[in-house]
Structure 1
Amino acid sequence: MLRRTFCATCLGVDAITVVVEVDVTVGISFHLVGLPDSAVRESQQRIGTALTSVGARIPGKKIIVNMAPADLKKEGSSFDLAIAVGILAATGQYSFCNLNEFMILGELALDGSLRPVSGALPIAEHAKKEGFKGCIFPGSSAGEAAEIDGIDVFGADNLNEVISILYGEGIILPVKHGDRAVRHTLSADTPDFSEIKGQAGAKRALEIAAAGSHNILLSGPPGAGKTFMAKALAGILPKMTREESVETSKIYSVAGKGALKDGLITERPFRSPHHSASIYAIIGGGFNSRPGEISLAHNGVLYLDEIAEYPRGVLEVLRQPMEERCVSISRLKYKITYPANFMLVASMNPCPCGYYGQPGDKCSCTRFQIERYSAKLSGPLLDRIDLLCDVNPVPAEYLISERLSEGSQAIRERVERARAVQSKRFMGRISTNSQMSAGDLRHYCMVGRKEADFLSVAISKLGLSARAYSRILKVARTIADMESAQNISVCHIAEAIQYRRTVINY
């Protein structure tokens, strides 16, 4: 008897249906075909023992399990449950008449209980598009999948509960999603801008960066507060929209980071990988083609502390994702694309010892050491950073002062107003000024004769590249939006240029 069950696997953040065909004939053997990896091949042992928990067994017959499409490699243990249900149906031990209505995924333990699987959110979204009535997941994975409207998501803790769901006994009801409003809850360790002493210039640059999602580099000596301010940036970023929340959650679901136990991710990611991280850890890929740090920072912040300490090869591979806002991982038979719309925030010292340019001749570095240190950041990479800000030591009078500066809440409100202007301007096509194309620049960043002359002189004197020119216009547009100005003025352009001069004079 031939029976079919349906499950899925993920390629990137998209799911593909996998049809599990189970046929039972005369003979004694078990064959699993369809390009399974070792974890899938080992499922026979797990399933055989797990079936005893429901009073069933793998009979002494010839059982062939085919997983289609056959040219797609099947990886992981999430196919266990679909195979087990197929065997129960094909051997006649249980009669199910609705297997074509459900997408079934889960890893089986030896006692018949179900362990969580990765990718439940994109798989549920795919099942809805394919017209399935419902999905059956392990209970610990069902919560994230239930965030998808228009499809019943059932959570089961063991094989007995799966059988109950398929029989329609009504004992196990579809999982109800939580509060659909996207909450904005900051981590307890996120500093408030009111705690930052002095540093008015750096705080202004960070506010501009947050308003337009611009990349920013903070450069200064040790102890100036670069890392503290970078972490405080998370507190002034605008709230995530539901679309952004779903996009980001799908990446974490595929990565299997266990971050979706309470539903969708509602706080913008703040990823801070160590400088010893490999290219695969940053970009993604590796054996299982998992998303890297740049994708895990999607719709959030990728913070590279002491960026000059990272291997140059790691930094250079950031260039393409920073432009295209996605990363493609090529394999022999397929290509996976992960979103990577992140805001790069980086910090660095001016030299290896950190005190170049500071009073008191503290710097102990040679000219060669300083040049080699700064050369870690290539010209093309610096061109892709919109704001370059010097962070100087805080004067003593600010350090001992008890006066608090403006808090994160007030700054966030201004940032959200600027983002609202951009959202209205682009009407959902893109979301921020940093994403503008060349055509958008011509349409939305038009300048008058006086502004054009000023910009022309600056480009000539400072030797700016075409990419730097476009970055200046984008930043100027953001500054104008923060001031609710319809047109870009000379003042807006001058401030934007000032954030390029830092590295030019470095």
Structure 2
Amino acid sequence: MTIGRAHAISLLGLDGAVVEIEADISSNLPSFVLIGLPDAALGEARDRVRSAAGNSGCPLPARKLTVNLSPAALPKHGSGFDLGIALAALAADDQVSADSVARVVHLGELGLDGRLRPLAGILPAVLAAVRAGFDTVVVPAGNADEAALVPGVRVVGVVSLRDAAIWHGAELEPIPLDALLPAAPDEAHDEEGDLADVIGNPDAVEAIQVAAAGGHHIYLLGPPGAGKTMLASRLPSLLPQLTPHEALETASIRSLAGIPVRGGLSLRPPFEAPHHTASAAAIVGGGSGVIRPGAAARAANGVLFLDEAPEFSPAALDALRQPLESGEIAISRATATARFPARFQLVLAANPCPCGNAGTRDGDCRCTPFAVRRYLGRLSGPLLDRVDIRMDVHRITTAQLRAAGSGDRVDSESARARVRQARAAAAERLRGTAWRLNAQVAGTWLRSPAGAPERGATLGLDRALERGGITMRGYDRVLRLAWTLCDLDGSPRPDADHVGRALYLRKAAR
């Protein structure tokens, strides 16, 4: 007997570590010992592997089988190690080629009949295998298309343990079985609307374009029916397509969240709109065992829309403060820390009061001033200080509705071209730095000779800072907005008009 070796991947967030699976068969009484810090789901692999091997025509010997998962100090979670454990055991029993098994990474959960069930997180697991130097991975047939999205790796999709054993040299006859496929995603795939659908609110339409051009966060305040949700849902249609790296990163997050990636990599920026009852863990991610990404991580490289933002729990809202600054979500547990990307654009939408009629021409608001302050105060000052654009959105009048067909409205195609041109100007200016968008630029650069506006352009902004009407963080965010307005106008450097318009966008919401 020899020691059989196989390899699998242990995921912690989007990061994966290679786990070496060692199997040894001794001549003691029949037993199955699994060591190496397995969790409960992985510990149950003993029964799954033995039953699957027997039903696949390659039963394990009636002897003591010891399986070690190395490194032993690394916690292992889930059932994705089943295939590697089974093949390492078969290699130890000389039923398959030990050299062939040792050269390949195996991922998959076994059913009792020997078929392989699809896994969540197959895409980041294959990426981790490639980074570790492996060029071949064996995955369930239901995950093969998703795994093939990773360049530079040979993907072998197998339906069952029997097929995997045959691929590694077992002398067995293949038995046709139906592949188990991942469940269909339960998310909508509605086509994005056009910006031209928005009637009235020209300032808000302009603000959405500024947000798209500079990557700025935006806060929309207005009564029900004013069009806040419509404006927010149009923002992804103004954003450029994802780069291949961003598309792979976005697909990896969705794979880890259990959303199958089908039909190739999507270049469309993601749009996440969690319900206001979502917890802090649902927003940023979490879990007691396997740490899963939340809505903020799934919105990376896209848009996170919080409708009825004051109705979210304060803990869920304040959990976004650190990711908005760092662009990363870190979830710490006793044994490890998982990290997810969080470079998203935040869109907050809120009513002006609990009943929604404060400040409207045709509504009767009966909310007390204290109730209004308490309602809007649920959005903390530190959170709003990180939002660049604050805009009032008003209900349209009958005259605006009737004149909607006669005016020139901005459509998504023309706005997207304008955004693309502004982003190209910003990328050219920021070439050689770590930033690509104006919203990412550090304040030190904005106040340096390279990033400062024209002489005298910040006089009004300086007075607002001296009076306490704006914080130092807000000061820098106004300068970032001014640069975005400058790029949209095609100007070489922000002037007093750009700074004034940026300050208006910062303070426009009542």
Return the TM-score normalized by structure 2.
Answer: 0.92
One-letter code of the match for 1:248? Answer: T
Which residue does the alignment assign to 1:247?
249
Contact 2:97–2:170 (CA under 8 A) maintained in structure 1 = no
Q: Which of 215, 225, 228 is equivalent to 1:226? A: 228
Deviation of the 1:151 alpha carbon = 1.8
In structure 2, the CA distance between the partners of 1:496 and 1:402, relative to structure 1 (3 Å rule), is: closer
In structure 2, the CA distance between the partners of 1:187 and 1:199, relative to structure 1 (3 Å rule), is: farther
Moved more, 414-423 or 22-31: 414-423
- 1:348-359 map, 5 Å: 348-359=350-361
- 1:62-461 map, 5 Å: 62-167=64-169, 187-258=189-260, 260-287=261-288, 288-360=290-362, 362-401=364-403, 403=405, 405-427=409-431, 429-443=434-448, 444-461=450-467
What is the distance in 2 between the residues matched to 1:333 and 1:187?
38
Which residue does the alignment assign to 1:499?
505
Which residue does the alignment assign to 2:484?
478
Deviation of the 1:461 alpha carbon = 4.6
Deviation of the 1:122 alpha carbon = 2.0
What is the SS of the residue equivalent to 2:301?
coil
What is the distance in 1 between the residues matched to 2:201 and 2:468?
26
Q: List per-residue Cα deviations over 1:86-130 (Å, max 9, x = no partner).
A: 111111223342222211110111222111112222222222222
What is the SS of the residue equivalent to 2:9?
strand
Deviation of the 1:328 alpha carbon = 0.8
What is the SS of the residue equivalent to 1:451?
coil
What is the SS of the residue equivalent to 2:474?
helix
Deviation of the 1:360 alpha carbon = 4.7
Contact 2:454–2:496 (CA under 8 A) maintained in structure 1 = no
Q: Which runs of 5+ in 2 are unaligned?
A: 175-187
Q: List per-residue Cα deviations over 1:27-60 (Å, max 9, x = no partner).
A: 1211011111111111122222211343111221
Which residue does the alignment assign to 1:181?
none
What is the distance in 2 between the residues matched to 1:279 and 1:418?
35
One-letter code of the match for 2:441? Answer: M
What is the distance in 1 between the residues matched to 2:508 and 2:441?
24
Which residue does the alignment assign to 1:182?
none
One-letter code of the match for 1:347? Answer: A
One-letter code of the match for 1:59? Answer: P
What is the SS of the residue equivalent to 1:450?
coil
Contact 2:96–2:170 (CA under 8 A) maintained in structure 1 = no
Report the number of matched residues. 489
Deviation of the 1:462 alpha carbon = 6.0
What is the distance in 2 between the residues matched to 1:50 and 1:270?
41
One-letter code of the match for 1:267? Answer: R
One-letter code of the match for 2:234? Answer: A
One-letter code of the match for 1:225? Answer: G
What is the distance in 2 between the residues matched to 1:69 and 1:257?
29
Contact 1:140–1:261 (CA under 8 A) maintained in structure 2 = no
Deviation of the 1:248 alpha carbon = 1.2
One-letter code of the match for 1:42? Answer: E
Q: Percent identity?
A: 38
What is the distance in 1 between the residues matched to 2:427 and 2:25?
58
What is the distance in 2 between the residues matched to 1:225 and 1:463?
29
Q: List per-residue Cα deviations over 1:355-381 (Å, max 9, x = no partner).
A: 111225611101110111111111111
What is the distance in 2 between the residues matched to 1:150 and 1:125?
10
Deviation of the 1:161 alpha carbon = 2.5
Contact 1:220–1:350 (CA under 8 A) maintained in structure 2 = yes
What is the SS of the residue equivalent to 2:138?
strand
One-letter code of the match for 1:421? Answer: A
Q: Where in structure 1 do 4 or more consecutive aligned residues deviate above 6 Å?
A: none
Contact 2:83–2:107 (CA under 8 A) maintained in structure 1 = yes
Deviation of the 1:246 alpha carbon = 1.4
In structure 2, the CA distance between the partners of 1:192 and 1:426, relative to structure 1 (3 Å rule), is: same
Deviation of the 1:72 alpha carbon = 1.6
Q: List per-residue Cα deviations over 1:188-237 (Å, max 9, x = no partner).
A: 34221111111111100000001111000110111111111111222111
One-letter code of the match for 1:271? Answer: E
In structure 2, the CA distance between the partners of 1:423 and 1:157, relative to structure 1 (3 Å rule), is: farther
In structure 2, the CA distance between the partners of 1:168 and 1:229, relative to structure 1 (3 Å rule), is: farther
Which residue does the alignment assign to 2:59?
57
Return the TM-score normalized by structure 1.
Answer: 0.92
